[in-house]
Structure 1
Amino acid sequence: MLKDLKYLSAYLLPLSFLLALVLGGVWSWASVILAFGIFPILDALLPASTENLSPEKEAEKLSNRFFDILLYLCAPICYLLIGFYFYSISNVPMENIEKIGLTFSLGVVLGALGINVSHELGHRATKGEQFLAKMGLLPVLYMHFFIEHNRGHHKHVSTPLDPATAKKGEWIYVFFFRSIFGQYRSAWMLEKERLAKKGLSMWTWKNEMIRFQCYQILYLLSVGVMFGWSMVPFALSISLIAVLLLETINYIEHYGLQRRLLESGRYERVLPKHSWNSDHEMGRIVLFELTRHSDHHYLASRKYQLLRHMDESPQLPTGYPGSMLMALVPPLWMWMMNKRVPQTPTLVASMQ
């Protein structure tokens, strides 16, 4: 059980943001410095672990509610931090550079504890967990991710049909636009198809995309009413930063990887080799094992504490925080990664 307490380290990010609010000044950037300064260094210093759990340990961890509670607390924590942020920005005298630092810091926290945890809970079957997933996506204005990720990305990953799969040689700044707009459009199409199967028009309140847009507009209106209309641009800013954090992760997770198109016209099933993996310890802990992404795509229902190292999965040269920094410098990223991308498979292959 003591070893499991390591996942409490994920809460270092919200604690760093509270520190940023209290101390101000250069500390306003505390969460950014922690995520992209300290964590990459720790990833480089701490040994990566390829150890997998025994069947007995898996059963023990699966029945331990501690791992679920850690996730359930994230959405409430995010909303508390958002409230403190808007109150401080609107009431406490501070320099513009401090406001910018706090905005970037909160965006990082909402990306890690908001979107990332919503991603994990969005794969769960219970209504309560799915509700928490949607609540985590609301303040980043990315609720359509709940639809597109589960019904689109996991189906089409590592194929040209998936806007969230980066092509080999594609700069991340081009990918941002293609992925963000492509996923949004895909979510609308998926809901339209779902409703059509039930004989319903897409212009109905049963369309989750319509509901999501209304909830997000109400959220922004609530920010304006409670904290002042000048806070709405700040709400949009923290959302953008969190979304770009997510899309940077999307970029590194499947960069250049492709599934074979079979003679049947369908793509081969998703295998561990279709996702980049990282066993670097710090990234694994603070992102609730998201970095063991190969196993996640191989079996999306597997809970984070059970995710396995897969020998056949391609490995990132460093942890997620370091890889994300490299991705922001495209020539460096491609110099490091293009030689690691497996040779492009034949687009049409036999069913063997």
Structure 2
Amino acid sequence: MSTTESTPEVITDESAEGAPQRPWRDRKRYLWPLATVMPAMPFLGAGLSAATGWAGWWWVGPMILFVVLPALDLIFGATDDNPPESERERLEADRYYRWVTYLFLPIQYASLVFCCWVWATWDLPWHADLGLALTMGVVSGVAINTAHELGHKREDVERWLSKIALASSAYGHFYVEHNRGHHVRVATPEDPASSRLGEGFWTFLPRTVWGSLRSSWHLENKRRSKGRHTALDHEILVAWAMTVVLFVTLVAVFGWVVLPWLVLQAVVGFSLLEVVNYLEHYGLKRAKRDDGRYERTDPRHSWNADHTVSNLLLYQLQRHSDHHANPLRRYQTLRHFEESPQLPSGYGSMIVVALFPPIWRAMMDRKVLAHYDGDVTLANIHPRKRERYLTRYART
């Protein structure tokens, strides 16, 4: 691995007058590879099951995401520390951080092949096979996050790696819709990936899946209408073809028995992405300017979660406000902003809450209202709930 070296800025510790000066260092530098634990979860489940004889370990993916990760977030808490802006160029030029994301992909695909081998050749009870499918689904869902990090970059190799990471979840159109659709329309009623105040997750899910698919197709056709193109450079068709080739190859090698599990893990994977989308912009809305256009996206338009452990494992996805305000920033330089609204906990906990809409609304509606200083008219309200919310939270 090569790194670009430059002389780090000398940062003064201002907590004590006359204290010695020291160069700034990324204290999490050698913790970022912990993100590779996530794609290795099927191997972990197999090892623990073999060691203990308990088939429940095949469910290790949901266990880690929804139990272990929230517990670690509770133990280690959140951090609002930011790298100095003067260090951004040096950090983003350091290729070590890029290789941390690249390493995710070979482990992801090794896990997928391993899962197919287990489904095809091991005599597991049905609930163990189901657990393995859900575990692989978590891997594919987290892989979409890796694709998200890679897909925003200008380098061709990273963009191609992003498409490869998306193939296992059959969600290749995300590459088009997220970059050219969601980032343009985020926190507006027109964005299918921005959830609305009062909208439950199970209502949001079909709206965002269908809306994002339709939007991505429209955006890609619009791009292609501006020049001469062939089917080989249709970004959505190429991405879907990668999934077809992947699944056909796996079925050819391991048999038809693996196909239902492949489909199930893909559905779990992209559903995991969409529940994260649900968390990230719930009820938030960009105001319109006098000319009728929306104001520029800034840190007020995304929910943040500064929890240390989950940010290490998710390439700081939870510092979502800075990502939307500055989409080209790499994960190691994303910042906390005081004006960003904060989720009560990390994504692992909040995903579980989102699956139960009454609990979610009881927890989050008041936070949306507080973010807008009690003026509910500033929020992105679900149209079917608009009159109810305006009546309930009317200002007197």
TM tier, smaller: over 0.9
Deviation readout 1:136-156 (Å, 9 max, x if unpaired): 001110000000000000000
Mapped partners of 2:121, 2:242: distance in 1: 26
Mapped partners of 2:367, 2:351: distance in 1: 16
Deviation readout 1:302-339 (Å, 9 max, x if unpaired): 00000000111111011111111111111111111000
- Kept in 2, the 8 Å contact 1:158–1:274? The answer is yes
Q: How does 1:209-220 map to 2 (within 5 A)?
A: 209-220=236-247
Which structure has the larger Rg over C-alpha atoms?
A: 2
Structure 2 residues not aligned, in runs of 5+: 1-25, 50-54, 380-396
Q: Which residue of structure 2 lines up, in the alignment, with residue 98 of structure 1?
A: 128
Which consecutive aligned stretches of 4+ in structure 1 deviate over 6 angstroms post-superposition? none
- Kept in 1, the 8 Å contact 2:42–2:60? The answer is yes
Identical amino acids, percent of aligned pairs: 36
Q: Which residue of structure 2 lines up, in the alignment, with residue 107 of structure 1?
A: 137
What amino acid does structure 2 have at the position aligned with 1:63? A
Is 1:269 matched with 2:316? no
Q: Which residue of structure 2 lines up, in the alignment, with residue 51 of structure 1?
A: 81
Q: Which residue of structure 2 lines up, in the alignment, with residue 350 of structure 1?
A: none
Mapped partners of 2:40, 2:249: distance in 1: 25
Mapped partners of 2:121, 2:150: distance in 1: 35
Mapped partners of 1:44, 1:213: distance in 2: 39
Q: Which residue of structure 2 lines up, in the alignment, with residue 87 of structure 1?
A: 117
From 325, 328, 334, the equivalent of 2:352 is 325
Moved more, 142-151 or 47-56: 47-56
Once the two structures are TM-superposed, the CA of residue 220 in structure 1 deviates from its matched residue by 2.1
Is 1:160 matched with 2:189? yes
Is 1:292 matched with 2:322? no
- Structure 1's 266 and 314: CA in aligned 2 closer, same or farther, altered over 3 A? same
Q: Which residue of structure 2 lines up, in the alignment, with residue 258 of structure 1?
A: 285
Mapped partners of 1:127, 1:31: distance in 2: 31
Mapped partners of 1:170, 1:190: distance in 2: 26
Moved more, 213-222 or 237-246: 213-222
Q: Which residue of structure 2 lines up, in the alignment, with residue 28 of structure 1?
A: 58
Mapped partners of 1:42, 1:214: distance in 2: 39
From 17, 31, 35, the equivalent of 1:10 is 35
- Kept in 2, the 8 Å contact 1:258–1:345? The answer is no
Mapped partners of 1:41, 1:124: distance in 2: 33
Deviation readout 1:126-182 (Å, 9 max, x if unpaired): 111101000000111000000000000000000111100001010101111000111
What amino acid does structure 1 have at the position aligned with 2:140? L
- Kept in 2, the 8 Å contact 1:260–1:345? The answer is no
Mapped partners of 2:27, 2:279: distance in 1: 32
Q: Which residue of structure 1 lines up, in the alignment, with residue 341 of structure 2?
A: 314
- Kept in 1, the 8 Å contact 2:42–2:115? The answer is no
Q: Which residue of structure 2 lines up, in the alignment, with residue 280 of structure 1?
A: 307
Is 1:180 matched with 2:237? no
What amino acid does structure 2 have at the position aligned with 1:288? Y
SS in 1 for 2:233: coil
What amino acid does structure 2 have at the position aligned with 1:76? P
Once the two structures are TM-superposed, the CA of residue 56 in structure 1 deviates from its matched residue by 4.2
Once the two structures are TM-superposed, the CA of residue 2 in structure 1 deviates from its matched residue by 5.6
Q: How many residues align?
A: 344
- Kept in 2, the 8 Å contact 1:21–1:85? The answer is no
Q: Which residue of structure 1 lines up, in the alignment, with residue 108 of structure 2?
A: 78
From 327, 336, 344, the equivalent of 2:363 is 336
How high is the TM-score relative to the length of structure 2?
Answer: 0.84
Q: How does 1:110-125 map to 2 (within 5 A)?
A: 110-112=140-142, 114-125=143-154
Once the two structures are TM-superposed, the CA of residue 95 in structure 1 deviates from its matched residue by 0.5
Is 1:62 matched with 2:92? yes
Q: Which residue of structure 2 lines up, in the alignment, with residue 143 of structure 1?
A: 172
Structure 1 residues not aligned, in runs of 5+: 348-352
Mapped partners of 1:161, 1:273: distance in 2: 18
What amino acid does structure 2 have at the position aligned with 1:302? R
- Structure 1's 3 and 23: CA in aligned 2 closer, same or farther, altered over 3 A? closer
Mapped partners of 1:109, 1:216: distance in 2: 16
Mapped partners of 2:297, 2:304: distance in 1: 14
- Kept in 1, the 8 Å contact 2:298–2:324? The answer is yes
Is 1:305 matched with 2:335? no
Once the two structures are TM-superposed, the CA of residue 199 in structure 1 deviates from its matched residue by 6.0
- Kept in 1, the 8 Å contact 2:36–2:103? The answer is no
From 70, 80, 99, the equivalent of 1:40 is 70
Once the two structures are TM-superposed, the CA of residue 15 in structure 1 deviates from its matched residue by 3.6
Once the two structures are TM-superposed, the CA of residue 32 in structure 1 deviates from its matched residue by 1.3
Mapped partners of 1:225, 1:105: distance in 2: 23
Mapped partners of 1:9, 1:44: distance in 2: 18
How high is the TM-score relative to the length of structure 1?
Answer: 0.94
- Kept in 2, the 8 Å contact 1:117–1:133? The answer is yes
SS in 2 for 1:98: helix
What amino acid does structure 2 have at the position aligned with 1:268? E
Deviation readout 1:240-275 (Å, 9 max, x if unpaired): 111111001000000000011223121111011000
Task: Provide the aligned C-alpha RMSD in A.
Answer: 1.6
SS in 2 for 1:212: helix
From 218, 226, 233, the equivalent of 1:206 is 233
